[in-house]
Amino acid sequence: MSKTFFEFFSPVKILAGFKALENIPFELSLLNVKTPLLITDPGVESAGLLKSVVQVLKDNGIKSPEIFNDVPQDSSMSVVAKGANLYREKGCDGLIALGGGSVIDTAKGINILVSENADDLKKFSGAGVLKRPLKPLMVIPTTAGTGSETTLVAVITDPETGNKVPFVSHFLIPDVAVLDPRMTLTLPPQLTAASAMDALTHAVEAYTGLAKNAVSDAHAWSAVQLVSENLFAVPEAPDDRQLRLNLSVAATQAGIAFSNSMVGVVHTLGHSVGAVCHVPHGMAMSVLLPHGLEYNLENGGESYANALGKLLLPLAGEDTYLKTARDERPAAVIKTIRDWKNRLQKISGLPCTLKETGKVQKSDLEPIVRVSLSDASSIYNPVEIDAEDASNILNKAYENC
């Protein structure tokens, strides 16, 4: 990968604040959207979040949007097809995604079908297949972690094979991301912790990966600092809107960073742990993060150690950074993350090891390794990973924090 050239692209307009929702009607008018399809899931609806958004629209003279609330935890191409049919049936002219990663990816998939006037989503899988802009897409995240509100990726399951199919295109980047703390206030402690650890992993992998560049580094750095300052403050004051908003901004900035600089071994293995054993993504990230970093540190040479070591400052703060010798900083980063995992387990019950997730058996590790070998995110990891390496990391993460 060339060190003398990089691209950075992040055209999403970010609306962040205590009353961010109230800006939606104006933004819809700017996008010329009069009949949006709102995509969400039953959990978001039962938490009362859908009602809040619809109320804001009504208060601003916008009729209730058409609603598709059939998105399951792991969305699939058949769900996307159903949503696209509803969009066409109701004559919609834009999309609003209200939810977590699965809802947002479903909205991106629906957008491909309705914009391309197509029925077969598979035709558009892979990188760079889309050739023109899609319909307007506004995203209101209800978790603070995936960063999907700013990324160029969607992952949707093929129900025939069970494979998670990636779609990668700049045209998938949403037009507007609405970060309003009212949307994450009800997020339970464990999901809050797991989502934040996903955001941290995006930032750390983007900052230390092969595709890092000065612009995405700035976002990754800020994201690490925001996670560090708010991860343990939120459980102590879960109703504090500013703290919640800070975690949302962290997730969005980490999303911007990895949408441009990609992720690495932790995601390579985490995707596979999710595919084989259905461990939720954020939980898998938290479990695997120190182990993936340790592997990279052992094998990644001086440039990797330098990049990782610098992150001790936003991660652990000035005092710890200054007290730690330069060559000890990379290991101190990993130790800090391990300490966080132990604290999060006490606070929220977030598992520390693959075994503790209750979803992974030792016999699953071999199939996880096999699946991981075809995961594209390993391309950007600073160290190559073969089956033996993947197996070693997974075995360590099975019983060790």
Other C-beta atoms lying within 10 Å of the C-beta of residue 226: 26
Q: 149 or 198, CB closer to Fe ion?
A: 198
Q: How far is the CB of 285 from Fe ion (least distance, A)?
A: 6
Q: How far is the CB of 262 from Fe ion (least distance, A)?
A: 11
Q: Are 245 and 182 spatial neighbours (Cβ–Cβ below 8 Å)?
A: no
Q: 135 or 267, CB closer to Fe ion?
A: 267
Binding status of residue 205 toward Fe ion by CB under 5 A: no
The sheet with strand 66-68 has its strands ordered as 13-16, 176-179, 137-141, 94-99, 36-39, 66-68
**C-alpha–C-alpha distance, residues 249 and 179, integer Å:** 7
**C-alpha–C-alpha distance, residues 152 and 266, integer Å:** 19
Q: 282 or 309, CB closer to Fe ion?
A: 282
What's 96's DSSP letter?
E
**C-alpha–C-alpha distance, residues 239 and 287, integer Å:** 27
Q: How far is the CB of 18 from Fe ion (least distance, A)?
A: 27
Q: 138 or 263, CB closer to Fe ion?
A: 263
**C-alpha–C-alpha distance, residues 221 and 242, integer Å:** 20
Quick check: helix, strand or coil at residue 76? strand
Per CB under 5 A, the segment of 29-37, 120-128, 192-200, 329-337 that binds Fe ion is: 192-200
Q: Which residues contact 60 (CB under 8 A, 6 or more apart)?
A: 22, 24, 25
The sheet with strand 126-127 has its strands ordered as 126-127, 164-168, 153-157
Q: 135 or 164, CB closer to Fe ion?
A: 164
The binding track of 145-184 with respect to Fe ion, each residue x by CB under 5 A or -, is ----------------------------------------
Q: Are 233 and 126 spatial neighbours (Cβ–Cβ below 8 Å)?
A: no
Q: 153 or 360, CB closer to Fe ion?
A: 153
Q: How far is the CB of 201 from Fe ion (least distance, A)?
A: 6
Binding status of residue 198 toward Fe ion by CB under 5 A: yes
Q: 21 or 284, CB closer to Fe ion?
A: 284
Positions in 81-100 near Fe ion (CB under 5 A): none
164 has which bridge partners?
A: 157
Residue number of the CB closest to Fe ion reads 198
Phi and psi at 291, nearest 5°, equal -70, -40
**C-alpha–C-alpha distance, residues 242 and 180, integer Å:** 10
Q: 62 or 220, CB closer to Fe ion?
A: 220
**C-alpha–C-alpha distance, residues 270 and 364, integer Å:** 13
Instruction: Number of residues interacting with Fe ion: please give it, by CB under 5 A.
Output: 1
Per CB under 5 A, the segment of 175-183, 198-206, 214-222, 318-326 that binds Fe ion is: 198-206
Tokens of 376: 């594209």
Q: How far is the CB of 323 from Fe ion (least distance, A)?
A: 31
Binding status of residue 375 toward Fe ion by CB under 5 A: no
Q: How far is the CB of 282 from Fe ion (least distance, A)?
A: 7
Q: How far is the CB of 263 from Fe ion (least distance, A)?
A: 7
Positions in 316-355 near Fe ion (CB under 5 A): none
Q: How far is the CB of 283 from Fe ion (least distance, A)?
A: 11
Per CB under 5 A, the segment of 7-15, 53-61, 195-203, 307-315 that binds Fe ion is: 195-203
C-alpha angle with apex 255: 228 to 232, nearest 5 degrees?
20
Number of residues that make up the chain: 401
Q: How far is the CB of 202 from Fe ion (least distance, A)?
A: 6
Q: 198 or 294, CB closer to Fe ion?
A: 198
The residues of the shown chain that bind Fe ion, judged by CB under 5 A, are 198
